[in-house]
Structure 1
């Protein structure tokens, strides 16, 4: 059972960008010290929800500051990056980190990012082509493209990867279409914290159906996101997050500016904070062990990644990471070991 820390570099009010990014790096190093298996960074553009516009760049920096822990992107947005360029970076990090880098990609959303980077057509029509080109290029060797979205002569992609046949690639899946695409390509999926564990389990069951329909065998390596905050009591943990999360979620969610169809409905930050506390591992150490063990058992995911920044303040985040490492992770791993997972 692998357990990781999810660090979106959340832009809480009262913290400038330097403080936020330094806190994310410090949290990643604290996660390694606490015994986490991995850390994951998210990519966001032009909003305070996350102040990291290049998850793979921050991952590269943290790989250089750590020794053991895997470092991944959850996710790099495929619609705003050229797939060959992203593959080159992934292979480079796979080489210099001795295989510690993990590439998670997603389609993204129809946001102003696509307007700024001039990639709206790729978002609407080229996601599958971009994914296929990424998968071809990340293996190294010679690659060319002759499709309507990407077209170029044959080139040699260097460096080739250290991890063969290619480095880990997983696909964020928030829709039937993305589940089907991952199933057809035989890729593990990343499931978001906006889903309850039962919903994540249903998504993986549907993935298995689509994979069988595509004529493929079972795929391992699925990752499910959660929220984790530990305190002496459940009431204390909930109180801390219900006070802090809306301060981040309010301005952060307001930063999602859609290209078409207006702004659309937004989540109420207080209601969403309450949902996250109710759906995930927020409570005493015993509560967190039970909830995470149940999530692992119900979903069948091989890895859980935990949003640990919910309390906001950098020192409080590091205390949460330390307590999770000392008081929660050993219990979850022991429970999964007893269950044979």
Structure 2
């Protein structure tokens, strides 16, 4: 059983980017102190929803600021960067940290990032499989040449080479990506937007239930369920609305706007938002329904540094022990 935290590094109302980044570092240090197993970092561009443009750069900083907790990316976007460059960074972080780095990768979206970084819409729509295969090949090779549709190069040495490559997880939001991950024997990262029944179905479709899939959740603990929900319904839309507006399509395709209040309500319905007992029971139920034994918790939803650090401390002291007691090692 692994329990981690997930950090968007959102810029809350009234904050600047420095405050959001410093809060993210403080949260990771607090998570290690609270007994979490890992911390996962989102990557975004050109939006207040998350102000970390390179999850690997932030991971390196957090690995240096901590001593035991694993640090992962959730996710590094393959559609906007060269897979060899990402693999080199991952290998270096793994070597420098003694194996505490975990690499989560994803396809991303049809956003304006593709235009700014020059990778183009085709990389997003058709190039993810090749990018993933090149990244995996690099992590498991001493020498590598490549002749694909998007990438071609003559043989070069792999430097630095991590003899034990960092574990790779694939964010899956479609059945095509589930199949791609399954064919390569890779675990899925399943997001906050779906509930346990949908996650159980994805695991069943994937066909490899014993790989270490990861499930993301919003988590907020208070003395009562009513208090926790009231806090998130009051605070979450304040930063969520401006943040989600940052998703702009590269080709100006219409994108349905998401109601931040309805989205916050949905998160409270799906996830462990409530008393310590409610949160623990919700997480245990997810594990029992899905078979996924690695859960990562978005702890920032209340929208302030103080609330984030208090939430991490309470989850560590009052929820994690209950979950681990109910779900002993297999």
| TM-score range relative to shorter protein | over 0.9
Distance 1:154 1:8 in 2: 38
Partner of 1:4 in structure 2? 4
1:45-82 residue CA offsets vs partner (Å, 9 max, x unmatched): 10111010001110110000000000000000001110
Partner of 2:205 in structure 1? 206
Partner of 2:49 in structure 1? 49
Partner of 2:171 in structure 1? 172
Partner of 1:303 in structure 2? 294
2:255 paired with 1:264: yes
TM-score, scaled relative to structure 1:
0.95
1:163-199 residue CA offsets vs partner (Å, 9 max, x unmatched): 2xx2200100000110010011110010000111111
Give the conservation status (yes or no) of the 8 Å contact 1:98–1:162.
no
Q: Number of residues paired by the alignment?
A: 329
Q: Tell me by how many angstroms 1:260 deviates.
A: 2.8
- Secondary structure at the aligned position of 2:219 is classed as strand
Partner of 2:147 in structure 1? 146
Partner of 1:122 in structure 2? 123
Q: Tell me by how many angstroms 1:124 deviates.
A: 2.1
Q: Tell me by how many angstroms 1:219 deviates.
A: 4.3
- Secondary structure at the aligned position of 1:51 is classed as coil
- Secondary structure at the aligned position of 1:102 is classed as strand
Moved over 2 A (4+): 260-263
- Secondary structure at the aligned position of 1:3 is classed as strand
Distance 1:135 1:185 in 2: 9
CA root-mean-square deviation: 1.1
Distance 2:179 2:21 in 1: 35
Of the candidates 215, 228, 231, which is equivalent to residue 222 of structure 2? 231
Distance 1:63 1:139 in 2: 23
Bigger mean CA deviation after superposition, 175-184 or 218-227: 218-227
Q: Tell me by how many angstroms 1:263 deviates.
A: 3.7
TM-score, scaled relative to structure 2:
0.98
- Show structure 2 runs of 5+ residues with no match: none
Distance 2:259 2:148 in 1: 42
Distance 1:125 1:285 in 2: 44
